[in-house]
Structure 1
Amino acid sequence: MSSIQEQLIQLREELREHNYNYYVLDNATISDYDFDMKLKTLQDLEAKHPEFFDASSPTQRVGGEVTKNFETIAHKNRMYSLSNSYSKEDLLDWEKRVQKILGTEAVEYTCELKYDGASINLTYEKGQLIKAVTRGDGFQGDNVTANIKTIRSIPLQLKTDFVTDFEIRGEIILPLEGFSKMNEARVEAGDDPYMNPRNTASGSLKLQDSAEVAKRPLDCLLYHVVAERLPFKTHYEALENAKKAGFKIPDTIKVAKSIDEILDYINLWDTQRFKLPYETDGVVIKVNSLHQQDELGYTAKAPRWAIAYKFKAEQKSTVLNSISYQVGRTGAITPVANLEPVELAGTIVKRASLHNADQIEKLDIRVNDTVFVEKGGEIIPKVVGVDLTKRPADSQPTVYATHCPECNTELVRTEGDAKHYCPNEYGCPTQIAGRIQHFISRKAMDIEGLGGETVALLAKENLISNYADLYELKTEQIIPLERMAEKSAENMIKGIEKSKEIPFERVLFALGIRFVGETVAKKLAKYFKNIDSLLNASFEELIAVDEIGDRIAQSIIDFSNNPLNIDLVNRLKSYGVQMELSAKALENQTDELQGKIFVVSGVFTKMSRNELKKSIEDNGGKVSSSISKKTNYIIAGDNMGPSKRTKAEDLGIPIISEDDYIAMI
């Protein structure tokens, strides 16, 4: 090794250590001036010797890379949302659900503060940061690696051997002091101040010039390690080792043995959080044992082994000036309170949800009332009460809308529905635009170059009146439109063409059949395999599908009985949109296990638990998290929970090994 190379390696190691001491441990071991001088020496050496380039060098943090369009990347492991709780009763209900699945096993928990920023997923291979992707919709997000590399508390290269290949999740935050200084500088420059740290942190990740990101005092707090097989027994142990490897893990994490200890932690931080250097909006409680986390698994939306406790939302009072009504893509009507502007949780609130007619009647909400407003889950403002002491003498009860505000069709409300609906499905302009916007959305057809404003423009110019019309658009029709150029028109047509590759389950979701969300669409696609089988299915055939109830079944039948819908589906087919599962998706699928329910418990050697569960579903079986009389088989690995084994034996359910299962299929 040459002396130059040795000098480079030594300088990089030295600067990494100083960087870690300052940004992670908050314990500077060198002056800012000396650090800058060493960094400049390193930059000069690297410039003269590009043959010794190192992607994880401290010099890579200063930014300079410009990203025009952020690439969308699918997450290897889905980033789930967390279920929320707001009371001791909610936590006790969650604990009961956990214990029901785990039986008599002792359970301990970790308590962590819920940081208020932008979620990020970092991927490391052989100790090096490979990529950083935003949460997005949980299934896919934006590649913001160039911007993330500028955040000095995120290690580009790990200090110790940790795990060979893994993902680590955390929150990009903007500490309050740094946020305050940014706003002082903006005000001095004559610019409007930023509203709150969370939105500013999130917006920073999408700045095109990483050199601009490097100027912002962003930080990253990590809270979850994901890998195929972790060499740790608990979540707490994984985080402790991640801290040793160089990650910034907050020291506020605590292991709790009971709900009472969890409540003590919540009560402590409900007041102490205001002394922290960053914003928090609650506490996250997790089952500590990684083995028990595997046993508990996930619902369609959230892990069963974790729950968020939200601190009481900030509440303000203001005057309700008027009530307007919004029409959703399915025709659902949502009443909206138009308010005298009020600052709430760092943003100016002018509008808030009133939910439905029942809520207005229950709270007796009236125009000109002084109402209490809070942010539900700290995000969507809602009216939660009325200050009756300030009600005007001439106040009149609210009469709920009787006709659609967009097309004037009389509204309907079916028994059991909380909302009123506009039944003019194919004539109401908002519903037409809403269905097209849903069709092109990220979780559905994900058509690049096409957004809500463009859809409205295309509809206004009578170029489209439904989502099938998109596939007949021509570049020359789009170029003359307002704010359109040749390049943007070409990109839109390319995006529409590329959407023909979107798999069937997402196309099914995109069709906008009422009550058919992402998860239901996947189940239906897997069961019926193509659109014709689904739309020709009887009510009995539909409810025979796992988790498909009467309401969903009737909605599918109503959709398939409408000739306009069948025409749209046939047109999409003719354009080449995927209306059946691909050969690859069908490759390993059989009906071998149709009607069989399996519980998977323990640690396996030939397949991971996720591979085992996927195999069961690919072969027509169902995976359940808890044992019941309906369970057909328990697949038991090492460390199977003793309570599960006892329950299986009591119910006479066959316990089979991983090898037995492989032989079965």
Structure 2
Amino acid sequence: MRWVTKLIGLLGMLSAMASATCPAWSSVQARQEMEKLDEKLTQWDRSYYQQGVSTVSDTTYDALRAQFNEWQHCFTPGEELQQPQLSTQGKALHPIAHTGVTKLPDRAAVMQWIKGKTDLWVQPKVDGVAVTLVYRQGHLAGFLSRGDGQKGQDWSAKAKMIPAIPKTLSGPLANSVLQGELFWKRDNHVQNVMGGINARGKVAGAMMRQGDPELLNELGVFIWAWPDGPAEMSQKLDVLAQAGFPLTKSWSKPVKSVDEIASLRESWFMSPLPFVTDGIVIREAAEPPGKYWLPGSATWVIAWKFSPAQQLAEVKSIEFTVGRTGKVAVVLNLVPLQIDDKQIKRVSIGSVKRWQNLDVVSGDQVLVSLAGQGIPRMDEVVWRVSQRNKPQPPEEKTLTPLSCLYFEERCREQFIARLAWLSSPSVLNINGVSLRSWQQLQQHLHLAHIFSWLTLTQGELSQIGGISAARVAHLWQQFTQARQQPFSQWLMAFGLPLPRAVFSTLPDSQWSHLVARDELSWQKLPGIGAGRAKKLVEFVNNPQIAALATFLAQQGIQGFIDQ
């Protein structure tokens, strides 16, 4: 009864933690999407559990299985959550059932679970395939896959080919049932660097397929349960170590607080280990008799998994952004997710062409990770919804390095991007003026072109709603100081298509000198080929560029006055 009470409490806690984000689908679409994903998950289960072939990464499978369960919460809340189709066509009955392990999401949930518990131990959550080892009269009499927890496939013949599995035992283990993880042995595997390397699939494949004797030599076994064994954990570990299962003792640590648990979890995530792991397992030393073990019944043990390097995210919407040169980039707006200590709401996927090739729309599921310097990146589209509603991207033919120098409503985004560029520290260094500042200025003062801000007065700036006198003074001072920037910086502000290194060595000090250059003259500068030379001639002779140069001359800007 004590175990039943604990189970009820644990289920209540998990229910309180559940907070699925529900898609805005009709009942018809929800049924369609769930049936489609259910079919795919079942197909993967059959390949994995019946054929030993992993056709999808563990990360993708686990994420989509969790997603399907979230959809169940949303659209069929009364139904029992679907579990993996574990059937391996195995008919061998486990002497003691595999209970499975409930996974808790975070430190707070772990802290809640350990309240009132004593004699707690932490082990790595070794990433492999769960098995049962049966010893009778000192000999290995059975080796079963987990299967559905009650019945599994008899792998006894394969077990004889695995050197890491003791074939004979004596003493307390001569007649015993052990449960553990068959894993792929690794040298100095650092989880946070190397990830899961699909270890689970490799082990399953080796056991399910005929042959693979070489890989069997690379398998080890980590015993994590000895039902009806010694009551004292230390005694249990000693006996296992002496019998040929030393890893259990080496990697089982007593703990008394959530701080100790978290410290071990972090250490094992960052340190070299002899196996792949995906988290930690926390267990009480006291366990109920094995005859009461049933799938899903374990209240004395839980898992706290590592935050995966990749996480599944739902695409909320597709956004097209236009840069100062007219290039269109595609951004996926995501249902917010957390990777490490970073919340991610959006990720850029590059050009319109790449977006079209990826074929991603709202509602799709994508894998997201952090690249260098913590920048989010999309690694893969792992699930596509049936309804493919694709937004229309901007017409790229009308957006060029020479478009939107003057404001038009159709090119608002490129115009603002130009302003943000010219005010950046590496160009005119207009301090304290952000993209949002330019949006606000354009909304209230209707700048005609990219240099119209040079003529703004303090009185005009004060007309912007909600702006303080100090802010007005600061903006006006910054705009005034920008006039003193050297000629080369104003050329950058224009967007003159020169390599950055050439600006500092450009011999010309007057705009008229640039206009006088022909293509051959441009090609004499370092890094300028025929194609770029042609673009430079077109640029300086463009009518709108010429008009802006005249405007800068009227404003007394150095390098433009003598034309």
Indicate the TM-score class for this superposition, using the shorter chain for normalisation. 0.3 to 0.5
RCO greater where, 1 or 2, for CA within 8 Å and sep 6 or more?
2
- State the TM-score, normalizing by the size of structure 1: 0.36
Structure ID, larger Rg: 2
